[in-house]
Amino acid sequence: MVDEDINDKIDIEYIEEELGSFQNIGIVYICTSEGGAEDEYVDADGTQIYVIHIPYELAKKNFDVRPIMLARAKERLGLTLN
């Protein structure tokens, strides 16, 4: 879920390429002016879903949000940041 004015900054394919070795996980990014809560759950198919909130103002002021997205995903997955 992303506000339209920053939609082009959210690059899900980049995250999939970087974390593609992980099976049975899904990451949902929320980046809206209304905000959103982070969450974690297992869906009906057994996929672990991580809901990650990227602050709207942070996304709006940064040209490239991919490093922020990747860092937040790694943090939620318990991976060491490089």
Q: DSSP letters of 1-20? A: -B-GGGGGG--HHHHHHHTT
**What pLDDT sits at residue 4?**
76
Q: What is the pLDDT of residues 37-47, one digit of tens each?
A: 788 999 999 99
Distance between start and end Cα atoms, the chain: 27
- Model-level pTM? 0.81
User: Whole-angstrom Cα distance, residue 64 to residue 9?
Assistant: 6
**What pLDDT sits at residue 6?**
79
Reply yes or no on whether the pLDDT at 73 is more than 90. Answer: yes
Residue 52 has φ and ψ, to the nearest 5°, of -120, 130
**What pLDDT sits at residue 46?**
93
Residues 6+ apart with CB under 8 A from 20: none
